[in-house]
Every structure is written in C-alpha cells, then in structure tokens.
Structure 1
C-alpha cells in the first residue's frame, strides 16, 4: 500500500458542502482506503491505497457527488506536501499568513490582476503546480482571496503553511510506524 494525501476543495467552507470528518473517513474506508486520518474539518486526508492518484481522486469525488456534494479532490504523494513546505518562497512572520494553492491544472499567473487587488506587503509566486500567496494583513481580509483562481489561471485548493506543517507531522508519524 502506498501513502497518499487528499486535499478536498470547498468542503465545510462557509456552511457549504458540509460533511463531518468521521463520516468522510468512513466514506473513504468504504472505497477500500486504509488508515484514513483527517486533519481539520476542511478536508485534509492521509491514507493508504494501491490505485493511481487520479483514480483515487475520481472515486472520492464521485462518492461525494452521490451524497450531493460538489467537491473536487486532489490526491498527492507525500513528497508534494513536503515540497510545498520547503519550497515556500516567502519568510512570513506567521505561517498562517502564507497559502499554497495546489493547482488542478497548469498555472498562468495573472500578475496585473494580482497587482490590482494586492495590499501593501502582499506577495505572489507560482512554480511547479503551486501558487504561493503571502498576505501579511490576513487572508480573510485580503481582496486577493476571492480572486485566487483567477490570479492562478487555474482551479486550486489552498492551505496555509500551518496546516501543511501539521500534515507533514502526520506523514512523518505515519511513516515512522510503517
């Protein structure tokens, strides 16, 4: 069995696509996934399975659709989460102020759009399937947050560095027991 990370886009955000994590874990176990662990209620999963990432993502997205939830899913190898943490181009005062957007397609960074809505100190970068956004004034207050996909030029699901760091800790603990 190979270890994977699933990032679910738009699950339990603003009351939309609501699903308790215990139910999500049971749903994944019903797909044959093993050792399913979740982090936060926003759809961060670690699990073991043999199938290819695209097949796994499609299976979970389909199972969620059967429950009436429109939730795109990215399944990534653990190395992609680690790379996202170590490749961060910014040195934030707080990890929660930097978000890594994991892209569902190739990026086409729209820097003029970023510049139009950026607050002083905001920074953006894109590389290797990731869009980085540093919002020192706070992501929730940022005018960039609702425009993130337009800036990236592709659909994405974003996680802050704090959440990614916790996923890395979970992966490390899991790999130590394998």
Structure 2
C-alpha cells in the first residue's frame, strides 16, 4: 500500500470549479482509497492505495468528471516524490509562499524556458516533472506565462511541505 498526494487543477480558485473538500474525501473513499485527508480548499488530498499512479489519476478524473460535468485535471505523486520535490526546491532561501512547484504529467519539454513570456523578477528552474518558480515580486502582479504549464497545477512550498508531512504520516 503506497501513500499518494493528488492535486486537482482549477478547483475552488477564483470562483471556478466549486468542490467541497468533504465531497472530494467521499469520492476518494468510494474509489477505495484509504486514510483519506484533504488540505485547504484548493483540491489537495492525501491517501493510501494499492493502485498505480496512472490508475489513481484515471479513476479520480473519471469520478470528478461525473461530479462536475466537465473534465477536472488531476496530478498524482507518491509521498516519496512529494518529499523529493520539497527537498530539491532550487530556491530554498526564498520565501516559501512566493516559490511554487508547477506540477506536470511528464518531464518539462526541452523548449520550456524558450516558451516563457512576461518574465520580470521571476526565477525559473526545471525539475523532473515540475517547473519551479520563485515570484520575486509576488504572484499577484506577475505577467509570467509558461506555455508548457497550460494543463498543470501549482502549489507553493508551504503547501508542499504540509502535504509531504501528511503523506509521510500515512
């Protein structure tokens, strides 16, 4: 039985994709996941499962589509991977609330950095299946656009640290 973290894309952000976390917990339990816990209302859930990452993703996306009536993107990482993402943060001395990991389904394309638009004070580094960004002046005023991140979801380092801890406790 492995411990996993699932990150939902565009849930309860900016008035879109309303999904109570109690509903998300219930869906995960219906899918047979164990020790289900959510964290904040932006679509973060930790749980245990015997299924593979791909099977978890497919099952959650299917169930969420039935609930929402539209596709909901899901990115899944093992507890070990979440801990590694935190450990490999290339901006460890920067404010964790201004540093994010953008989660992708696969490795960032080779031309990811060339496809960036609107970069000012942001620093960007590529990870294994993540793009790390430090927003020097904050995310609220940033005009940064990363084409490779169109179907991704981002979490700041504070959230990742909490999710890593929660998953490690399962």
TM-score w.r.t. length of structure 1: 0.87
Give SS of 1:17's match: coil
Q: Give the structure, 1 or 2, with the largest relative contact order (CA under 8 Å, sep 6 or more).
A: 2
- Report the counterpart of residue 126 of structure 2 in structure 1: 126
Flag the structure with higher helix content: 1
Q: TM-score, normalised by structure 2?
A: 0.91
Partner of 2:156: 160
Q: Gapped runs of 5+ residues in structure 2?
A: none
**Pairwise CA RMSD of aligned residues?**
1.7
SS of the residue 1:56 aligns to? helix
| Structure-2 change in CA distance of 1:55 and 1:172 (3 Å) | closer
Tell me if structure 1 keeps the 8 A contact 2:107–2:130.
Answer: no
**Number of aligned pairs?**
168
Matched, 1:36 2:32: no
C-alpha contact (below 8 Å) 1:33/1:47 kept by paired residues: yes
Where does 1:1-178 land on structure 2 (aligned, <5 Å)? 1-67=1-67, 68-108=69-109, 109-114=111-116, 116-120=117-121, 122-144=122-144, 147-148=145-146, 150=147, 152=148, 155-174=151-170
Is the Cα–Cα contact under 8 Å of residues 104 and 154 in structure 1 kept in the other structure? no
Distance 1:91 1:48, change over 3 A: closer
